[in-house]
Structure 1
Amino acid sequence: MCGRYASTLPPEMLQELFKLLNKLDMVPRYNIAPTQPIAAIWEQHGRREAHFARWGLVPGWVKDPREFPLLINARVETMAEKPAFRDALKHGRCIIPASGYYEWHTNPDKTKQPYYITYADGRPMALAGLYASWMGPNGEEIDSVATITVPTNAQLSPIHDRMPAIIAPDAIDDWLNVRDVRAAEARQLALPLPDGVLKFHPVSTRVNSARDDDPGLIEPATVEPPKPPAAKKRVAGGSAQMDLF
């Protein structure tokens, strides 16, 4: 899963790179965590704009967001069927600009080592996401998002078995075009990246605390390289994922 990421692009570069009609007042962030407001990009009525939204999707049909589970990720394999995500896949696709993301590898002694993962050439990422708008009984409104995860590629499998779906630059227009591109077609754009496109390095466990947010978090740390995971035994009974998610 993807539970932390960094976004350090200047607002002007973000506006130019993603062809936005507006500019958000943003500062570099190195440890963005769930429930925080994050920058997300979507299109409405032909206008592509950046918005601040809560990381943790709240579907419009929820009665009370305080009593709803925190949904930060949607699995690509099931998002078209799950009630929490299927409408957003049709009408609320978005991208989340990122400089890189963090993932944790579980060591043999059960400790967890964080890694920072970026494009090998240093270009920005467009994480695939879904957004929804919730309206409360007193007129309050919450825009919220979830990132989409896919099975990891072979390069990253020693770290984790999931990775965020990263939309290729030439596929961003189709991903955001909810008027003309159907959900089934858009689903084919949310794929694992090929091996060799990304690079990664271990970082300090300070990233475990959302209170820490500084450039030192993305600097390399010295640890033993992760070993490939052992083959998992298949368990009868299917997925344990809840019906909503």
Structure 2
Amino acid sequence: MCGRFALTATPDQTAAFLGLEGLDDFPARYNIAPTQPILMAMAGEPRAPGSNLPDRRALLVRWGLIPAWVKDTKDFPLLFNARSEGAAEKASFRAAMRHRRAVVPASGFYEWRKNAGGKGQAYWIRPRHGRLVAFAALMEPYAEPGGSEIDTGAILTTRANADIAHIHERMPVVIDPEHFSRWLDCRTLEPRDVADLLRPAEEGFFEAVPVSDLVNKVANTGPEIQERQAAEAVAAPKEPAHSGAGDRQLTLF
């Protein structure tokens, strides 16, 4: 699964990776959690002749997809992940799989391995090449009872590869940059046409770094949560004073 991730690249680096003209300024985010705003890229309107950039647009969505048919969100579970194996047929994700496929840029994600004591060892899982990665995602607009509309989204997952399987059985689907255009093309390609992209990342793509349980608290938003720890050391050190970045998690972009 993918319940926390980070995006620590600069806006210029992120825009270049996604093939966008540019992004508004935003700070590094080390502990992004469900219900917070996340950055997505989707197919946009065709660009003018002569443009060397693909037709993509950036948008912010609430991490936690709400299908359009939901009447009361209080009684509906938080869909921050979607199992890729059945997303094209599942009522909650079927429309988004056909019409609103997206990618989420990330520097890596966090996962927890349960141990005999009932606690979980946290891991910071990042690409070995040190660059950005894109997770396959879905976007769904939701009209609230009061009449306002909010864009919501979920990250697609698949079975874990050998890098991750000893930690957790699931991992986010990674879309390589050379496949962005095909994955995002909802005008001419149906879910069955891109089903081959919904597979685990190649072995060796990720490395798992054991970290402290500082990441367990959403309020901890600094780079110290990614510092390597001994795998046996599940307890976190005394929490450092916050710099105020945590207060910006909901209003970053």
Shift in Å at residue 190 of structure 1? 1.7
Q: Which is worse superposed, 134-143 or 163-172?
A: 134-143
1:195 aligned residue: 203
Secondary structure of residue in 1 paired with 2:117: coil
- SS of the equivalent of 2:194 reads helix
CA positional deviation for 1:25:
3.1
Superposition RMSD on alpha carbons, in Å? 1.5
- 8 Å Cα contact 1:22/1:49 also seen in 2: no
Compute the displacement of 1:203 (Å): 0.6
Which of 136, 149, 152 is residue 128 of structure 1 equivalent to? Answer: 136
2:107 pairs with 1:99: yes
Q: Which runs of 5+ in 1 are unaligned?
A: 226-245
Q: CA deviation at 1:63?
A: 2.1
1:173-198 CA-to-partner distances (Å, cap 9, x unmatched) read 11111112211122211210111111
Cα 1:44–1:135, aligned 2, differ >3 Å: closer, same or farther?
A: farther
Identical pairs, percent: 41
Tell me, yes or no, if structure 1 residue 151 matches structure 2 residue 159: yes
Does the 8 A contact of 2:163 with 2:208 survive in 1? no
In 1: Cα distance, 2:147 partner to 2:191 partner: 30
1:51 aligned partner: 59
Cα distance between partner residues in 2 of 1:3 and 1:24: 25
Note the 1:1-245 alignment, pairs <5 A. 1-46=1-46, 47-224=55-232
Residue 9 of structure 1: how far off its partner (Å) = 1.4
Aligned counterparts of 1:69 and 1:224: Cα–Cα separation in 2: 33
Q: Matches of 2:146 and 2:78 in 1, distance apart?
A: 22
| Separation (CA, whole Å) in 2 of partners of 1:11 and 1:96 | 14
TM-score w.r.t. length of structure 2: 0.85
Conserved? CA contact 1:24–1:51, under 8 Å: no
Q: In the comparison of the two structures, how many residue pairs are matched? A: 225
TM-score calculated relative to the size of structure 1:
0.88
Aligned with 1:188: secondary structure? helix
> AA paired with 1:67?
D
For 1:7, the aligned partner's letter is L
Q: Is the 8 A contact 1:2 1:102 kept in 2?
A: yes
